[in-house]
Amino acid sequence: MRIDFHTHAFPDALAPRALAKLAGPIHVPPVTDGTLDGLDARMRASGIDRSVVCNIATNARQTENVNSFAIRTFRERGDRFTPLGSVHPDYPDPEREIRRLCEAGIPGLKLHPDYMGFFVDDPAFDTIFSLAAEYGMFVLIHAGFDVFSPDLIHATPDRILNRMERSPDTVLVAAHYGGNALYDEVEEKLLGRDLYIDASLGELMHLAPEQAARMLMKHDADRVLFGSDCPWASPAETFRFLDALPLPDERKEKLYWKNAARLLGLNA
């Protein structure tokens, strides 16, 4: 079994525009058309049984629509997708949205500090993280470098540590090995701490296999998650990169699906 903990898809009507807007700065051709059907086809071709769809509210106005899409996705296609909700720090009633998501069975939130325009340790996020803990939801954050804010990283390892101190009861998942393109700093400051990391985008960001293996061995085996960041990377290519690493089979099994199934509350 394989669970991809980091993917993206958009409503059919918005997918072409969203993909075009995102693809420009990234300079990486997407491997899907940005729709749920496109993601599902790529999943099947890559041997993925379930994908976590990371929805992001990049401003307060988007929050309700983004979460309605997540709820509809889970209701209609929950056999293949586990969507995440999102709440922008400027949204005036975060508890209402988080309660709505929780009641619909959505297990977590996706926050992208760079897109949202706040540092991850900004007090503006405090209420959202607190409510996530109160409602039993995890929070997945983009961590490290992003092309949309190349000169100002909003979730560095130090800022992630500050957030953990500010929100000690919240289950935190830091994407991209805990800090995209900040791998040495992640090794020094985050690995072994009480947070999850997803192993996404390393192969595209030129993470050396030796360092990837070292990082995945250094962190708690129960807190690592397979992720691709599809459509910006192919799940099959990510799997090939990870499967070639000299990791024990038991650790790979936890990485590929066991940890994700536990975090998502799946009976697998």
Check which CATH number belongs to the domain holding 66 and give it: 3.20.20.140
pLDDT at 27 (0 to 100): 73
Domain-located, residue 233: yes
pLDDT at 20 (0 to 100): 87
- Residue 263 three-state SS: helix
| CA separation, residue 17 to residues 33, 240, 242 (Å) | 10, 30, 32
Domain-located, residue 210: yes
pLDDT at 28 (0 to 100): 80
Q: Which residue pairs, CB below 8 angstroms and at least 24 apart, start in 40-43?
A: 40/77, 40/80, 40/81, 42/230, 42/231, 42/234, 42/235, 43/4, 43/80, 43/235
pLDDT at 267 (0 to 100): 77
Structural domain harbouring 246: 3-263
- Entry pTM: 0.97
Domain-located, residue 268: no
**CA 52 from chain center: how many Å?**
8
pLDDT at 148 (0 to 100): 86
pLDDT at 24 (0 to 100): 67
Task: Please enumerate in sequence order all residues whose Cβ is within 8 A of that of 153, keeping only pairs 6 or more positions apart, or say none.
Answer: 114, 144, 145, 146, 182
pLDDT at 268 (0 to 100): 56
Q: What dihedral do alpha carbons 201, 206, 208, 212 form, nearest 10°? A: -10
pLDDT at 22 (0 to 100): 82
Burial class (CB in 10 A: 0-12, 13-18, 19+), 249: exposed
Burial class (CB in 10 A: 0-12, 13-18, 19+), 174: buried
User: Which tokens belong to 180?
Assistant: 């995209």
Number of structural domains the chain divides into:
1
Each of the 268 residues of the chain gets a pLDDT tens digit; together they read 999 999 999 999 999 999 888 876 777 889 999 999 999 999 999 999 999 999 999 999 999 999 999 999 999 999 999 999 999 999 999 999 999 999 999 999 999 999 999 999 999 999 999 999 999 999 999 999 998 888 999 999 999 999 999 999 999 999 999 999 999 999 999 999 999 999 999 999 999 999 999 999 999 999 999 999 999 999 999 999 999 999 999 999 999 999 999 999 997 5
Q: What dihedral do alpha carbons 26, 29, 58, 99 form, nearest 10°? A: -140
Domain-located, residue 121: yes
Domain-located, residue 148: yes
